[in-house]
């Protein structure tokens, strides 16, 4: 039985820390693997590509946290195999050596990266606004649906990934939520009940 799982991340390009620009080279060395630094060196737009890579890694981390124990979040250990330009698929290798599929969409000043395992391709949306949870529930259009997070000891905030319940029963989708600056985003894949 194939179970899908998904992670997503949105980056507001107008909300990037200016310090990241000032300490840019050290930031790159901290976040990017050598192969990714090569992609940046070859890129016509390395500033945008850096944030595309960052979003892809964040999405991959959220995915990896669903596939096993929460890994050490060292960005450079989540390796993107090619410059993930808008609409073009890429792969990201997780620290566990699992290879996840990925995609990046650029919506104006929003970068939205999604990483997943399983069949098909995730549904994904970016909204202008702070509430990814509400946007997800609107999309699902289910009565008495809610998004919950169970306690999880190894998570940074003590809570596990979001799950959808309908009338207190698990709904057969895996979801991921993200918020940054002006934007919120979600992605979901169906899972077999």
Q: Closer CB to other proteins, residue 143 or residue 157?
A: 157
**For other proteins, which residue of 19, 41, 168, 193 counts as binding (CB under 8 A)?**
19
Minimal distance, residue 88 CB to other proteins, in Å:
23
Binding of other proteins by 27 (CB under 8 A): yes
**For other proteins, which residue of 3, 20, 43, 93 counts as binding (CB under 8 A)?**
20
SS percent in the chain: helix, strand, coil, step 5? 30, 35, 35
* CA atoms of 46 and 7, how far apart (whole Å): 24
Which positions from 139 to 158 touch other proteins by CB under 8 A, shown as an x/- string? -----------------xx-
* CA atoms of 177 and 29, how far apart (whole Å): 27
Minimal distance, residue 76 CB to other proteins, in Å:
8
Binding of other proteins by 180 (CB under 8 A): yes
**For other proteins, which residue of 1, 2, 17, 143 counts as binding (CB under 8 A)?**
17
* CA atoms of 8 and 126, how far apart (whole Å): 10
Question: 58 to 87, contacts with other proteins by CB under 8 A?
Answer: 58, 72-77
**Which secondary-structure segment (H or E) carries 39?**
helix 34-42
What backbone torsions phi and psi does residue 156 show, to the nearest 5 degrees? -65, -30
Q: What is the number of H-type helices and E-type strands within the chain?
A: 5, 11
Binding of other proteins by 99 (CB under 8 A): no
Half-sphere exposure of 141 (CA within 13 A, CB side): 1
Q: Which residues bind other proteins (CB under 8 A)?
A: 11, 16-17, 19-20, 23, 26-27, 30-31, 54, 58, 72-77, 156-157, 180
């Amino acid at each position: 039985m194939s179970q899908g799982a998904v992670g997503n991340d949105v980056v507001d390009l107008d909300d990037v820390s200016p310090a990241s620009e000032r300490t840019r080279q050290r930031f790159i060395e901290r976040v990017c693997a050598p192969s990714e630094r090569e992609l940046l060196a070859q890129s016509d737009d390395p500033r945008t590509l850096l944030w595309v890579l960052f979003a892809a890694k964040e999405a991959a981390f959220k995915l990896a946290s669903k596939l096993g124990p929460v890994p050490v979040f060292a960005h450079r250990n989540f390796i993107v195999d090619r410059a993930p330009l808008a609409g073009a698929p890429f792969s990201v290798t997780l620290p566990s050596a699992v290879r996840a599929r990925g995609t990046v969409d650029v919506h104006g000043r929003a970068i939205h990266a999604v990483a997943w395992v399983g069949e098909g391709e995730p549904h994904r949306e970016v909204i202008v606004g702070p509430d990814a949870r509400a946007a997800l529930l609107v999309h699902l259009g289910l009565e008495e649906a809610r998004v919950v997070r169970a306690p999880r000891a190894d998570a940074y905030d003590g809570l596990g990934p979001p799950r959808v319940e309908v009338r207190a029963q698990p709904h057969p989708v895996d979801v991921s939520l993200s918020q940054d600056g002006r934007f919120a985003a979600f992605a979901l894949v169906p899972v077999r009940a």
